[in-house]
Structure 1
Amino acid sequence: MNLPIYYYVLGTPLGLLGLFRWGCWLVRRIPAVLYQPALDEHRLSISLVVPVYQEDPHVFAAAIESWLANDVDEVILVIDASDRICQEIARRYPVSVVVTTVPGKRDALRRGWRKAKTDLVALVDSDTVWAPDVAFEVCKPFADPRVGGVGTRQSVYGGRGFLSRITDMFLDHRYFDENASQTYLGKAVSCLSGRTAVYRRALLLEIEDDFMDETFWGVPCLSGDDKRLTTLVLERGHLTYMQRTAEVWSTFPDQWRIFFRQRLRWARNTWRSDLRALSKPWVWRHPFLAYTMIDKAVSGFTLLLGPIFMVVALVNQNWIFAAVLALWWQISRSAKLLPHIRRRPSSFFLVPGYVFVSWVMAVIKIQALLTIRRQRWLTRQVAVENGEVVRTSQPGSRPQGQAPADAQQPEAPAEPRTEAAV
C-alpha cells in the first residue's frame, strides 16, 4: 500500500525515537526482572527518626501505631514547636519527642539520629504507615557489610482520586523498574526515598557535616535530603539497596496545584544531585547508575516529542497516524506498567491519563532545570532567603487541607519522653 509522503515524514523519526527509548527501557527492564530481595536472616537494633511539621492528625496517629507495631527499639519524633496538635498526639504514645524551633527538615533529621543509640536509623516521613514486617525486612540487606543504606517499596495511602491512582502507577514503575535494576546491577540505588530510608547510624554521623552544609551554585540547599544522603553514602564507597518486601504507604497530593509544586521541588533536587554526581569520579564506578541518571535527564526532552507529533498529525487531519500513535501509547505503556496492572487491573483504563501526566511531568522537569537555583519547599512554609532557611508563614498556621486544631484524634495510651531543642 502506497501511503502519502507525510506519513513517512512523521512516522520515520518517531519510529526511530520509539526504538531508541524501548532499547533504553529494556536495558533497565531485563535486570529488573532478575531482581530478588535480600533473604538473609539478619537483625540489628533500629530506631525511627521522624521530622514532624503540621501533619494530618489522623494519618500521623495511624503512622505512629504502625511503627510501634513493628517492635522497633525507639521512635524519636522531632516536632516543630509551632505544631501543637502533633505534640498533643505524640503524648499519647510511648515515643521520645524532641521539640525544635529550628525551621527545615535537615536539622530535625540530624537532631534525631544524634539522639538515637541503635545500629540502624530509619528516617521516616510523618505521613508514612508501615506494614507489620518492615523493621524485620529492612535489616536483611545489612548482612552485607558494604551496604550503607536500604530503601523500601512505597504505595499510596488512602487516596482514591485520579492523581492518587496515577501516582500509584508511577510508584510501582519506579520500584519494579528503576530501583530494582539499580539494585541488581551494582547495588547502587540513586535515591533512597525519604518516606522510609534506613542507614547505619555510624555512617550518618560521619556524613552529617556534608549533609548539613550542602550548597548548589552558592545557595544553601533546603530540600532534597533523601537524594543528598544517598549520594553521600555512595560517594564514600558504600552500597545502597532496595528491599521491595518492606512495604510502606504514604499520602500524596490529590490536587493539581500541590502535585505540581511537589514535582517541581523533586525535579530540581534530581537535577542538582545528578548533574553534580555526573561531574565526579565516584559515580562512574557505578556505570549502570550513571547510565540511569543520563537516561532520566534525556527522557524529559524526548518524551515531549510524542505529543508534538500527535498535534501535527491532528492539525493535518492525518487520522490514521493519530489513531495508530494513540493505540501504540496504550499498548506500550501498559507493557511497561504490567507489574502494577497485575496488582490493580482497572489501571489499564487509566493509561491515557498516565501518559498525559507523564507529559506534564516532562514540562515540569524542564521548568525545574531553568529554575535550578531556586530553593523553596513549595508545599511547606519554609524557604531559603539571603542564604538562610526561614519560615514563610506565621507559626501555628496550617497548610491548606490539614485538619484544624479541634480535630478529633484517635485514643492511645502512654506518655512520651519530651525534651526541647533550640
Structure 2
Amino acid sequence: MRTAASTLPLHPTGRHRAERRGFNLKKMQVVDLTLKILVPAMLLVFFMISLHYGSLDGYLQLLSRRSYAAFIPALGAAYTLALLLFQIVRTVLWGLYRPYALPAGELPKVTVIIPAYNEGEMVEKAISAVVASDYPHDKLEVICIDDGSKDDTWHYIQRAAGRFPHLIKAVQFPHNRGKKAGLYAGFTQGQGEIFVTIDSDSVISHDTLRQVVAPMMQDAKVGAVAGNVKVYNRHQSLLGKMLAVRFVLSFDFLRASQSRYGGVTCTPGALSAYRRAAVLPHVDAWLNQTFLGAPCQHSEDRALTNFVLRAGYYSVYQRTAIVHTLVPETYTGLCKMYLRWERGNVRESFVQLGYLFTNYRKKDRLLPIVDFFMTQIEFPLTYLFLGLLLGSIVVYPLVFIKFLAALGVISAIYMIYYLVLEKDLDFIYGVIYSYYAFFFLQWIYPYAFLTVRNRHWLTR
C-alpha cells in the first residue's frame, strides 16, 4: 500500500539521489550476474590446471631439504585433522540446533537500549522498528542515548520521542563518553526484567523482541541471548554482498553450534538480550574494566558476555530474532571494524581463559575449552603455514595455482552451510570473500594483537 508520503513529488536533490540509487542497483545486478558466471569458471580453470600439472615431485623434493624442519608438515597434518574433526562436531551441533519457541504466559517487561553517536536519521529508523514491533507497549520501554553527537542525531531522537512519549526516554550526554557509558545509562535507568541492546544503525524485524526473550523465558540458566545479525545494506556494494554471506556463516553456524552447550562467546552489539539479574551486579566492573592498564572502551559486547558466563549463566543464540545492520562498504571501513573486533577478541580471550578451568558453572564446561583452544591455535598456525606456502612458491611456483584451487574448493564446500540456510546463489560471494580475506586481510590479527591496548573506536 502506498502511503501519503509516497505520493509527494520528490525534491530535486531527493530525485537525484533516487536516480543514483537506481543506477547503482542496475550496475550491481550486472556485476552480480557476471560474477556468478566468472567465479565458477575461474575455479574450474584452477582445478583443471592443478590436474594437468599434477606431479608434486618438485614440492616433495623441497620438503625433503634440510632447510625445512620435518615437524612442520607433521604439525600441519595434525592440526588439519584436529580442525576437521572439530568442524564435524560443530556441524553436528549446528544440525541439532533449534531456535527456542516462545512459551505461553505473560511476557516480561523489556527495556530496549539504543546508544547512538553521529548516526543521523538512521537512529530514527532503529527506534521506529522497535516501536512498530508486535511486543505489547505496556511491557515495553525504550531508552535512546545520544552520546554527545556532533551531527543531527539528537534531533531524530527527539522527533521519535515526541511521537511516542509514553514509550521512549531520550537521554543526551553533553560530550562523547563512549558506547559503554551509553549502555550503562540504559542498564541503570531501565526498569525491565530483560534488557535488549540494539545498535543505532540496526533495524529489527516485527517479531524480534518476542523471539529474543523466548530463551530466557524457557530456561532460567540463560543469562544472555545473541540475535541473528544480517546485513542491512547488502545490495549496495560488492563488499556488502560478501559480508552478508560471511555474517550468515559466522553469526549462524558458529553461534548455533556454541548455543548447544550454552557457550556463545559474543552476544553482538547489533542485537542481544540480557537477564537483569545476570548483568546488573556486574555493570560497574564492566564499565570500569581495564586491560594492561588501559581502559577497555571497545568490544563491550564480548566483554559483557564474559561477565555473564563467568557468573554461571548460559549464553545462547536465537536464530529467529533477526536484526539488519549497516556494514562498511569500503576496504578502509572494513579494516577499522575488524581491527576493533580483533583487539577485543584478543583481550577477552585472556579474560575467558581466566575462568574456563574453574567451576564457573556445574556442567557443559568441556566443549567451551575445546572451542577456545581450537580457535586460539588457528591464528599462529595459519601464519606459520603461510610462511611455508611462500617458501614453497619460490621453489615450486605451481604450488600457488594449486593453493588457489584448494582455497576455492574448500570455501565452496563451506558454502553448503549458507545454501542450507539461505537457499540462494549469493554463496558465490562467500567464495570471493575467501580470496579477498586471504590476500587483503591477513595483516589484521597480528596488528590487532600487537596494538591490543589501542583504545580508539576507529569507526568514529
Pairwise TM-score range, normalised by the shorter structure = 0.7 to 0.9
Shift in Å at residue 162 of structure 1? 2.5
Pair 1:167 & 2:239 matched: no
Shift in Å at residue 293 of structure 1? 2.3
Counterpart residue identity of residue 374, structure 2: D
1:249-398 to 2 correspondences below 5 Å: 249-280=324-355, 281-282=357-358, 286-304=365-383, 307-308=386-387, 310-319=389-398, 321-342=399-420, 343=422, 344-348=424-428, 350-358=430-438, 360-380=440-460
**Cα 1:273/1:5, change in 2 over 3 Å:** same
> Structure 1 stretch 243-252 or stretch 31-40: which is displaced more?
31-40
Consecutive unaligned residues in structure 2, runs of 5 or more: 1-53, 65-72
Distance 2:318 2:63 in 1: 43
Which residue is equivalent to 1:53? 117
The number of aligned residues is 377
Shift in Å at residue 317 of structure 1? 4.7
2:323 to 200, 223, 248: 248
Is the CA contact 1:148–1:203 (under 8 Å) kept in the aligned structure 2?
Answer: yes
Pair 1:91 & 2:164 matched: no
Deviations 1:332-354 (A, max 9, x none): 11222223245231332551432
**Cα 1:233/1:5, change in 2 over 3 Å:** same
Is the CA contact 1:341–1:348 (under 8 Å) kept in the aligned structure 2?
Answer: no
Which residue is equivalent to 1:135? 209
Pair 1:201 & 2:257 matched: no
Shift in Å at residue 307 of structure 1? 4.9
Distance 1:354 1:284 in 2: 37
Pair 1:189 & 2:264 matched: yes
What secondary structure, in the 3-state scheme, does the structure 2 residue paired with 1:92 have?
helix
1:59-138 to 2 correspondences below 5 Å: 59-72=122-135, 73-83=140-150, 85-93=152-160, 94=164, 95-102=168-175, 103-138=177-212
Counterpart residue identity of residue 338, structure 1: I
Counterpart residue identity of residue 331, structure 1: V
Is the CA contact 1:149–1:200 (under 8 Å) kept in the aligned structure 2?
Answer: yes
Which residue is equivalent to 1:4? 57
Counterpart residue identity of residue 290, structure 1: I
Counterpart residue identity of residue 400, structure 2: A
Return the TM-score normalized by structure 1: 0.82
Distance 2:101 2:134 in 1: 20
Is the CA contact 2:298–2:457 (under 8 Å) kept in the aligned structure 1?
Answer: yes
Shift in Å at residue 115 of structure 1? 1.9
What secondary structure, in the 3-state scheme, does the structure 1 residue paired with 2:309 have?
helix
Deviations 1:36-90 (A, max 9, x none): 1112425322121111100142x32322221111144121101123345121112
Distance 1:367 1:283 in 2: 34
Shift in Å at residue 156 of structure 1? 0.8
Is the CA contact 1:54–1:83 (under 8 Å) kept in the aligned structure 2?
Answer: yes
Which structure has the highest helix share of the two?
A: 2
Counterpart residue identity of residue 86, structure 1: T
Consecutive unaligned residues in structure 1, runs of 5 or more: 381-422
**Cα 1:242/1:4, change in 2 over 3 Å:** same
**Cα 1:283/1:130, change in 2 over 3 Å:** farther
Give % identity: 24
Shift in Å at residue 188 of structure 1? 1.5
Distance 2:79 2:370 in 1: 18
Shift in Å at residue 211 of structure 1? 0.8
Distance 1:236 1:358 in 2: 38
Is the CA contact 2:83–2:374 (under 8 Å) kept in the aligned structure 1?
Answer: no
Is the CA contact 1:277–1:283 (under 8 Å) kept in the aligned structure 2?
Answer: no
Distance 1:335 1:111 in 2: 45
Distance 1:196 1:79 in 2: 18
What secondary structure, in the 3-state scheme, does the structure 2 residue paired with 1:153 have?
strand
1:214 to 289, 296, 302: 289
Distance 1:242 1:206 in 2: 23
Shift in Å at residue 273 of structure 1? 0.7
What secondary structure, in the 3-state scheme, does the structure 2 residue paired with 1:345 have?
coil
Distance 1:317 1:268 in 2: 36
Which residue is equivalent to 1:33? 95
Is the CA contact 2:242–2:429 (under 8 Å) kept in the aligned structure 1?
Answer: no
Distance 1:203 1:2 in 2: 59
**Cα 1:208/1:361, change in 2 over 3 Å:** same
**Cα 1:8/1:153, change in 2 over 3 Å:** farther
Is the CA contact 1:148–1:200 (under 8 Å) kept in the aligned structure 2?
Answer: yes
What secondary structure, in the 3-state scheme, does the structure 2 residue paired with 1:243 have?
strand
**Cα 1:107/1:350, change in 2 over 3 Å:** closer
Which structure has the highest strand share of the two?
A: 1
What secondary structure, in the 3-state scheme, does the structure 2 residue paired with 1:129 have?
strand
Shift in Å at residue 166 of structure 1? 2.1
Flag the structure with more relative contact order, 1 or 2, with Cα contacts below 8 A and sequence separation at least 6: 1
What secondary structure, in the 3-state scheme, does the structure 1 residue paired with 2:265 have?
coil
RMSD of aligned residue pairs (Cα, Å): 2.5
